[in-house]
């Protein structure tokens, strides 16, 4: 989406809106695929505390482009919600929606990951 600045007349390119599946669009196969990767599981475990976190605040031993990919897979599967705030993307776990849709799944996966 492009807009003109009213003050300078410069063209401003607004960031793309992030798409998320609705609660009813979240599919079990997509969630299981998203949770099958060790790096994505680390992200989910870090977000399980309940606090919103930026991508940078979760220390992953991968390059930025790979990190971006992992967050996108989780968002598109409906596991996390992302919102843009300035230059940062803030992430939160969609625990309530996932627990409603697939009761006990997150707890089981996170519990198994701890062992």
What are the domain boundaries of the chain? Answer: 19-114
pLDDT digits (tens, 9 = 90+) for 75-86: 999 999 999 888
The answer to whether the pTM exceeds 0.85 is: no
Q: SS3 letters for the chain?
A: CEEECCCCCCEEECCCCCCCCCHHHCCHHHHHHHHCCHHHHHHHHHHCCCCCEECCCCCCCCCHHHHHHHHHHHHHHCCEEEEEECCEEEEEECHHHHHHHCCCHHHHHHHHHHC
pLDDT digits (tens, 9 = 90+) for 41-95: 999 999 998 889 998 888 888 888 888 999 999 999 999 999 988 888 999 999 9
Class of 19-114 in CATH: mainly alpha
């Amino acid at each position: 989406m492009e807009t003109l600045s009213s003050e300078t007349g410069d063209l401003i390119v607004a960031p793309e809106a992030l798409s998320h599946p609705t609660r009813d669009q979240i599919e079990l196969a997509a969630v299981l695929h998203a949770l099958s990767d060790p790096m994505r599981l680390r992200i989910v475990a870090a977000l399980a505390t309940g606090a919103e976190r930026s991508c940078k605040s979760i220390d992953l031993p991968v390059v930025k482009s790979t990190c971006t990919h992992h967050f996108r897979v989780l968002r598109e599967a409906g596991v996390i919600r992302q919102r843009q705030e300035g230059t940062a993307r803030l992430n939160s776990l969609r625990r309530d929606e996932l627990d409603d849709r697939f009761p006990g799944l997150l707890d089981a996966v996170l519990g198994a990951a701890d062992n």
